[in-house]
Amino acid sequence: MTVTTFHALVFWFPAFLFSTTLHEAAHAWVALRGGDDTAARGGQASLAPWPHVRRAPFGMLVVPLLTSLTQGWTIGWASAPYDPAWADRHPRRAALMAAAGPVANLLLAVATFAVLRAGLVLGVFDAPARVTLDQLVVPVASADPLGVLAFAAIGLSVLLTLNVILFVLNMIPLPPLDGASVITLFLPGRVAARMRALVGLPGMSLVGILAVWRFFPVLSGPLFAALVAVLYPGQY
């Protein structure tokens, strides 16, 4: 087994499965709190991955495994069902439901970042000679005689990188991404209503997917550079 394959199967794919399950469970939980139990009845207000995999097996298993093994990083998708009539009656609650998924990824990224920074400050981790998506830190050799920290360094690096990507990607205000609904929280009433109508038009999701596919690679480089700059202020 190559190093790339090992990282894909042991770090990238499990991190995607956990992070996406958390994202979709957050959608379902906030919807339930707001009065829509559609996702909860499907078992998706849960951190168990199976209900989410069952709903989107291609996006949760096939594509993530393929991208993990061939691209050196992981992408995929899932979804939590909701009642459109409920969303029409309570547009603000629906927008908060949409925001819950990316916020869950952001909180996980912040927690992981805090662990990495603490490790750097305490002398457990150090900066690698070359920072990569799955190697933001390396263990200090004297602190890791058993190699446990080397494993943790890769796992935490992947978890942080992936959740930053998931947060930023999902906040792009184009359907079918969550940002298309989240943005209505900050728009005047009539403008927000027009935005919701636009999001619901046939074909808009395809336009959004194509736009993100085209432009996100342009954003990924600066995004990773910004993450490294925050992790190592003034160093890189």
Name the more confident of 19 and 5: 19
| Model confidence at 137: pLDDT above 90 | yes
State the pLDDT at residue 230: 96
Instruction: Give the CA distances from residue 3 to residues 24, 68, 214, in Å, rounded to whole numbers and listed in that order.
Output: 30, 12, 29
- Is the bond preceding 176 in cis, omega lying within 30 degrees of 0? yes
Share of the chain above pLDDT 70, in %: 96
| Model confidence at 149: pLDDT above 90 | yes
Confidence of residue 86 (pLDDT cuts 50, 70, 90): very high
State the pLDDT at residue 203: 66
Q: Do the Cβ atoms of 8 and 69 come closer than 8 Å?
A: yes
What does the pLDDT look like over 193-207, one tens digit per residue?
Answer: 777 777 766 666 677
Helix (H, G, I), strand (E, B), or coil: what is residue 135? strand
Q: What is the CA 15 to chain-centroid distance, rounded?
A: 10
Cα(162)–Cα(74) distance, integer angstroms: 8
Residue spans of the domains in the chain: they are 3-231
For residue 148, the 8-state DSSP code is: H
User: Average pLDDT, whole number, for the chain?
Assistant: 90
What does the pLDDT look like over 213-233, one tens digit per residue?
Answer: 777 777 888 999 999 999 999
Rounded to two decimals, the pTM is 0.92
Cα(163)–Cα(56) distance, integer angstroms: 19
